[in-house]
Chains A and B, each alone.
Chain A
Amino acid sequence: MSDIFGFPQDREATSAAKVRALEALLIEKGVIGSDSVDTVLRHFETVAGPFNGARIVARAWVDPAYQQRLIANTPSAIAELDLPAGMAGAEGEHMAAVANDAHVHNLIICTLCSCYPWPVLGLPPYWYKDPVFRARGVREPRAVLREFGVDVPETKEVKVWDSSAQIRWFVIPERPANTDGMSEAELASLVTPESMMGVALVAPPQA
């Protein structure tokens, strides 16, 4: 290990100072621009996140006809919303939506690798690529869902959708109770990427 690395006591302040000095020197030398860091991060903060997916789900909740169109032709229904950015991003070429209801709970996995609809769900969670999740998700989805805290009753069918290079699936979760008076934007704030993968339910709003 190089002697330029160490573990000082005031670690956070030290690391912050090192990063500040490093960035300042790199800008001074013209290696990067003064806005380079913000530019790359803005992509993750405004485009490659679950922002679009949450809006799509909220629209489907308030407009049943939209939900039908979303399931019938997902790219066309998404195009209706005129989402600000990100839909032309990677892995968004062929998306398809499925809806949870009183009879069916849907789960999304990718058994082969880690195909995932980034433009609607953002960054995949670290376990999505885990071989154990991928194998057990197909073999015993109810048990896997229970471990995620989702206990699907036996009366409900569990459908597993395998994302691939051809189609990336996402779930329209069930709208939670006590949300009748909420605006579309408020509803979107309840939607998590996990709920759009089927490994979580959307929690009702906090009282």
Chain B
Amino acid sequence: MFTRFEEYAAAAMLGEPDSPPRLDGKLFFSNRWERDVFGLALSLSKAGCFEWEAFRQCLIASIARWEALDCANQPRWDYYERFLEALLSVTESSGTLSRAELERVLAER
């Protein structure tokens, strides 16, 4: 039984299509933002903003959307891009941030 949220969250994804890349028993991030977005999702769920399972369903849906794109329009596979899309989606649907706030975040790039 996983009593720590971090381990429960990682274990829930084990062996599933939404499981994050890992190497040598550790999470594998190729960029700093990937580490940050993973930590953000865990932190928000740990803080009670949404159920971890709700985030996972958004991630699975985000992966499915990428898979459904036809080859001509399909961008290179990037797990953490799907992860970020899912986080934005669950952040809006859970009411953690409003759509207007999210639009502002996305406009700041």
> What residues make up the interface of A, taking CB atoms closer than 8 Å to B?
1-2, 4-5, 7, 11-23, 25-26, 29, 31-32, 36-41, 43-45, 48-50, 89-91, 114, 118, 121-130, 192-194
Interface size class of B (residues with CB under 8 A): 35 or more
B-side contacts of A19, CB under 8 Å: 33, 36-37, 40, 84
Interface digits, B87-98 against A, CB 8 Å rule (1 contact, 0 not)?
111010000110
Sample (11) of A-B pairs whose CB atoms are under 8 Å apart:
A2-B89, A15-B37, A16-B33, A26-B40, A89-B4, A89-B7, A91-B7, A123-B22, A124-B25, A193-B24, A194-B24
Interface digits, B8-22 against A, CB 8 Å rule (1 contact, 0 not)?
101100110001001
B-side contacts of A44, CB under 8 Å: 6, 10, 26-27
> What residues make up the interface of B, taking CB atoms closer than 8 Å to A?
1-8, 10-11, 14-15, 19, 22, 24-27, 31-33, 35-40, 42-44, 46-47, 49, 65, 75, 78, 80-81, 84-85, 87-89, 91, 96-97, 99, 101-106, 108-109
Asked whether B39 lies within 8 Å of A45 as measured between CB atoms, the reply is no
A-side contacts of B36, CB under 8 Å: 19-20, 23, 37
**Which residue of chain B is the closest to A53 with respect to CB atoms?**
B25
SS of B interface (majority)? helix
Query: Beyond A18-B88, A122-B25, A194-B24: 6 further Cβ-contacts under 8 Å?
Result: A26-B97, A37-B36, A41-B39, A49-B26, A91-B2, A126-B15
> Please, how many angstroms separate the alpha-carbon atoms of A118 and B75 in the complex?
35
B-side contacts of A4, CB under 8 Å: 88, 99, 102-103, 106
Asked whether B84 lies within 8 Å of A50 as measured between CB atoms, the reply is no
Asked whether A48 lies within 8 Å of B35 as measured between CB atoms, the reply is no
A-side contacts of B47, CB under 8 Å: 31-32, 36
